[in-house]
Chain A
Amino acid sequence: MNRSNVVKPRKQKRIPGRIKNIDYKDPKQLRRFITERGKIVPGRISGASSRCQRRLAKAIKQARHIGLLPFTEEDYK
């Protein structure tokens, strides 16, 4: 039972940890960090550094408030 054999290879990071110019007014940019259902993608998956993830989360919530992003997308697909 050598567990180390089952570890999957790490996925290549597509997004660098640091994300510049996080802006709640830019839904296009923020879209990349929500799922098609509208959920915020967790930091471990989005690859954003903790600091950027916090900023992203805040920006996404503010964008939701002013209707630029959905809280939930019920009929996606």
Chain B
Amino acid sequence: MRSYETVVVLDAGLEEEPTQQEVNTIEQIITSHNGEMIDTERWGSRKLSYEINDKRQGYYALFRFNSEPNVLEELDRAFKLNGHVLRHIVKLVKQHAVSSPAEGNT
């Protein structure tokens, strides 16, 4: 298992519901490949610094997860095929801060 994070920029022109769906789909891809979602941060719609596919706004979401490296291929493929994904970046991170539901004592 390794720790990854990925930022996905979705088309902000999408309605609330489809956006939600896209986010869920991404989480599902991770979990269905024995990945472990840590959390999802929705940054919401922000102005893009430059136009991407003629769009000025992007909906940002950050996913933190643990998984085997083979999930990345799957994610990459899904992102590339998905027309709503403007940009994505996947990064290996050292270790996610443990934020499991079981609140441990420090």
Residue ranges of A at the interface with B (Cβ–Cβ < 8 Å): 24-25, 27, 62, 64-72
How far, in whole Å, are A67 and B91 apart by their CA atoms in the complex? 16
With A65-B89, A67-B87 known as contacts, the answer to whether A25 contacts B49 (CB < 8 A) is no
Residues 59-104 of B contacting A (Cβ, < 8 Å): 60, 62, 86-89, 91
Per DSSP, chain B at the interface is strand
Question: Which of A27, A66, A71 contacts B87 (CB under 8 A)?
Answer: A66
**3 nearest CB pairs, A to B:** A67-B48, A70-B49, A66-B87
| In contact, A64 and B87 (Cβ under 8 angstroms) | no
Residue ranges of B at the interface with A (Cβ–Cβ < 8 Å): 7, 9, 46, 48-50, 52, 58, 60, 62, 86-89, 91
How far, in whole Å, are A35 and B87 apart by their CA atoms in the complex? 24
Which among A24, A25, A65, A69 has the greatest number of chain B C-beta atoms within 10 A? A25
Q: Give chain A residues whose Cβ lies under 8 Å from the Cβ of B89.
A: 24, 62, 65-66
CB distance from A40 to the nearest CB of B (A): 14
Q: Give chain B residues whose Cβ lies under 8 Å from the Cβ of A71.
A: 49-50
**Residue of chain B at shortest CB distance from A62:** B89
Interface contacts beyond A64-B49, A67-B86, A67-B87: sample of 5 additional A-B pairs, CB < 8 Å, sorted by A: A24-B89, A25-B7, A65-B87, A67-B9, A71-B50
With A25-B7, A62-B89 known as contacts, the answer to whether A67 contacts B52 (CB < 8 A) is yes
Pairs A–B under 8 Å by Cβ, sample size 27:
A24-B89, A24-B91, A25-B7, A25-B62, A27-B49, A62-B89, A62-B91, A65-B87, A65-B89, A66-B7, A66-B9, A66-B60, A66-B87, A66-B88, A66-B89, A67-B9, A67-B48, A67-B50, A67-B52, A67-B58, A67-B86, A68-B46, A68-B49, A70-B49, A70-B50, A71-B50, A72-B50
